[in-house]
Amino acid sequence: ASDIGNKCVAIKEEKMEEKKISEQESLELITRMINQTKKDLSVGNGDSFLMWGYLSAAISVAVIVMLLATNDPRFAWLYMAIPITGFTASGIKTYKAKRKSHVASTYASNTINNVWAIISAVFAVYAISCLLHFGEVRSWKGMFLLGMLLPGIGTYTTGVILKEKSIQMCGLLGVVIGTGLLRDFVCGEQVISIMQMGQMVLSFVVTLIIPGHILNFKAKKQQ
């Protein structure tokens, strides 16, 4: 009976040890996946953040300058250069990256890419809707709202997946900036002011440019 009891205890301890090892291996696997995702995304997505951020901020500043100089609202059409240039550059960059890279993507990186894909789809669908109703000029105000809310949400989600608090904070701050414009719309404000355009520039800096530099800095640090 004593031998049987000792064997049961030994088997129980062995199972507990196997469970501990399994849990430890699972945590290590998750950590490796997150680190691999950071390594894969830091330069790739970091550069993408910077490309979209600087492009959007530069064109927004150009629109503000031209409106102040000429008071001609037609210069607002320059905003269309953001999606046209951005999606073209992103498509070329993605195509080149797929040809060069033979590394399998991780679940986390796919999740992040899918988040930004649906955000891009929302922008595209709304833009097409506005073009189909060309006479409704005020409908384009919605693009400003989307531009100040959705990037913040995407950046926050990216920070959560990568477990990067600084990126999460940038995303949250971007959403807070966007809610100011949402409040103005709900209160019935009819015209996008120069100050609101400036807030959009600030939003691009917070939600895209700063996170892009953070991701690239983390990449260099890990390498």
DSSP letter for each residue of 13-28: HHHHHHHHHHHHHHHH
Name which of 27, 32, 48, 202 is nearest 112 in CA terms.
48
Transcribe 61-89 into DSSP letters: HHHHHHHHHH--GGGGGGGGHHHHHHHHH
Question: What pLDDT, on a 0 to 100 scale, did the predictor assign at position 69?
Answer: 93
pLDDT score for 216: 87
- Output the six-digit token pair for 197: 């355009």
Q: Which of helix, strand or coil describes residue 2?
A: helix
- CA nearest to 196, candidates 178, 209, 174, 208: 178
Q: What is the pTM of this model?
A: 0.77
Residues of the chain with pLDDT under 70: 1-27, 29-45, 97-106, 135, 190, 222-223
The total of other beta-carbon atoms located within 10 Å of residue 94's CB is 13
Please give the pLDDT value at position 5. Answer: 47
Residue 43 has a pLDDT of: 46
Backbone angles phi, psi at 72, to 5 degrees: -105, 110
Q: Given this model, what pLDDT does residue 48 score?
A: 87
Burial 112-125 (b: 16+ CB within 10 A, else e): bbebbeebbeebee
- What was the pLDDT predicted at 3? 52
What pLDDT sits at residue 9? 47
Q: At 73, which amino acid appears?
A: P
